[in-house]
Structure 1
Amino acid sequence: METMKIGRATLMWLNGGVTHLDGGAMFGVVPKPLWSRKYPVNEKNQIELRTDPILLQVDGKNLIIDSGIGKDKLTDKEKRNFGVLEESSIEQSLEEAGLTKEDIDFVLMTHLHFDHACGLTSWDKEQLVPTYPNAKIYTSETEWNEMRNPNMRSKNTYWESNWKPVESYVHTFENSFEVLPGLRMVHTSGHSDGHSIIIFEDAGETFIHMADIMPTHAHQNVLWALAYDDFPVTSVHEKKKWMDFGYGKKAWYVFYHDAQYRAIKFDQNGEVMDHLKRVVHAYE
């Protein structure tokens, strides 16, 4: 399990499963000869996208950033369409860290699309129950409202099975929210109307989780927005704002989806200073 320390925060990546989605959709209007130089693509024009939650330990609290693809939450057709070759094994990952699901204090949801939110609920016999029974779940008010009242487009990604069992666990915010000292969630919109990013600053060190306005290192270019984005122009402007912010602080950018890198540190010019690669296990 890859681990790093940033300020007083320890980050560990859990095994949340994997999807394989169309590369053209993931890079929008960017021509394939450009994006395929930066990120591997298979013969079906799909790119590998992890769905690996980040376990964050700060001030004696255990937090999880996004929740993975879940286990036994998708039909065979959905697994085929979304290229799900591996489902979540969060319990085993937590066990490696000396924890159980009951030890998680907070779940920070950047947004509630199925590939981020399926892990919020789990099967207990024939009933879906909260995966983290002692955790408060934080997301933006805008995102939570759309999750429960999706439109004709978003109903394909906002599933009742992912919110109904945890309804009483959810806490929302409008613009920004400080979860713990130095750790905040900021509502950006863009990828979804309620999309948020996560920022941590401590002792001169910073990490930023851009979630799906920069899902992989190959999306560093501020103009490279996803075809999946509800508001791509907003994504571009928000990415520019927070890349400038991070470059100025020589921040680490940490990833949920990237199949190659867990984190990359950029200097004030946007050049790579350091990185943490994902370990590819023999069984994958």
Structure 2
Amino acid sequence: MRTLTSLLGNSQRLDGGAMFGNAPRALWSRWIAPDDQNRIPLACRCLLVRDEGRILLFETGIGAFFEPALRARYGVVEPEHVLLEELATAGVDPADIDTVVLSHLHFDHAGGLVTAWREGEPLALVFSRARFVVSRAAWERARAPHPRDRASYIPAINELLAASGRLDVVDPEADAEAAARALGPGYRFHLSHGHTPGLMLTEVEMPAGPVVFCADLIPGRPWVHLPITMGYDRYPELLIDEKRALLEDLAGRGGRLLYTHDAEVALSGLGRDERGRFRAVDEHPAVVALAT
């Protein structure tokens, strides 16, 4: 049997204007209230999948690798490694994880791969036996970033992954069976380039309909609305086209969305309003051993 459980990584508070691109504050502040520094609360949510004796982890959150000054700069709330605490609560040791799937390697999605900051101590991978799956385009971008997004990557994490001997770089555009080869039957990769090259969304087949871990293509419920994008997105118009294609496909198949950055809702269904616009429905603040 396959079960899904949402886990929290460390949370952030980031500038609301940056998170909503060209949407005005008068609009986005109705959806998420900013603090006195114009920041909004964001989760860094992960997905744990237990699948016939295997344990898969999708993303690792931002983690706690930043030194205190950088932790404050990037709005990381908790000093401790929250994902490790969440795994322990779920009865999982980091050494139990068979596969870690990374949608991309921006630090708010991959930082939980490594140990928490300790003065004078080097970072180390916390998953001692897991294979790490990332798309070829995302890996190449992480190794040679553009000046616009260079600060989103941590070279030490790239070096640790490369040296691990357990990095599995896949190319879903060239290999339609990439997900099956990497994860087994019942999984599908969707590749997107609007946020960053090679953003890889994983679709998990479930009895009641597929669940898509939608990463930064759709960070949370407000971004289900097609025109809403982030200031961090590389090509917003392309992202909107990619989002439309995914949502129209999922709407026809009873698909559900697992959100990385929504501070209040982990999973929702997909519906349309009276004007035909996509919207989140059937919202769940957390997912615990979902098997349907």
TM-score w.r.t. the length of structure 1 is 0.89
Aligned to 2:202: 198
- In structure 2, stretches of 5+ residues that fail to align are 288-292
State whether structure 2 residue 44 is matched by structure 1 residue 51. Answer: yes
- In 1, distance between residues paired with 2:94 and 2:142? 24
Aligned to 1:76: 68
Q: State the Cα distance separating 1:102 from its structure 2 match.
A: 0.5
Aligned to 2:284: 276
Q: Deviations over 1:113-167 (max 9, x none)?
A: 0111111122698232221111111111011011112222222111112121121
- In 2, distance between residues paired with 1:93 and 1:272? 26
Aligned to 2:55: 62
- In 1, distance between residues paired with 2:42 and 2:154? 20
Aligned to 1:39: 32
Partner of 2:168: helix, strand, or coil? strand
Partner of 2:202: helix, strand, or coil? strand
- In 2, distance between residues paired with 1:83 and 1:45? 12
State whether structure 2 residue 245 is matched by structure 1 residue 250. Answer: no
Output the aligned Cα RMSD: 2.0
- In structure 1, stretches of 5+ residues that fail to align are 1-7, 280-284
The residue identity in structure 2 corresponding to 1:186 is H
Q: State the Cα distance separating 1:186 from its structure 2 match.
A: 2.1
- In 1, distance between residues paired with 2:271 and 2:87? 33
Q: Residue 169 of structure 1 is aligned with which of 166, 169, 182? A: 166
- In 1, distance between residues paired with 2:149 and 2:270? 34
- In 2, distance between residues paired with 1:220 and 1:15? 21
Higher strand share: 1
- In 2, distance between residues paired with 1:77 and 1:64? 29
User: What stretches of structure 1 move > 6 A for 4+ residues in a row?
Assistant: none
Q: State the Cα distance separating 1:221 from its structure 2 match.
A: 0.8
- In 2, distance between residues paired with 1:271 and 1:212? 17
- In 2, distance between residues paired with 1:144 and 1:28? 25
- In 1, distance between residues paired with 2:22 and 2:128? 42
Q: Residue 185 of structure 1 is aligned with which of 189, 195, 206? A: 189
Aligned positions, number: 271
- In 2, distance between residues paired with 1:184 and 1:108? 12
Q: State the Cα distance separating 1:36 from its structure 2 match.
A: 1.6
The residue identity in structure 2 corresponding to 1:255 is Y
Q: State the Cα distance separating 1:19 from its structure 2 match.
A: 0.8
The percentage of aligned residue pairs carrying the same residue is 28
Aligned to 1:4: none
The residue identity in structure 1 corresponding to 2:68 is D
Q: Which moved more, 1:169-178 or 1:29-38?
A: 169-178
- In 1, distance between residues paired with 2:146 and 2:271? 41
8 Å CA contact 1:248, 1:267 repeated in 2: no
Q: State the Cα distance separating 1:182 from its structure 2 match.
A: 1.5
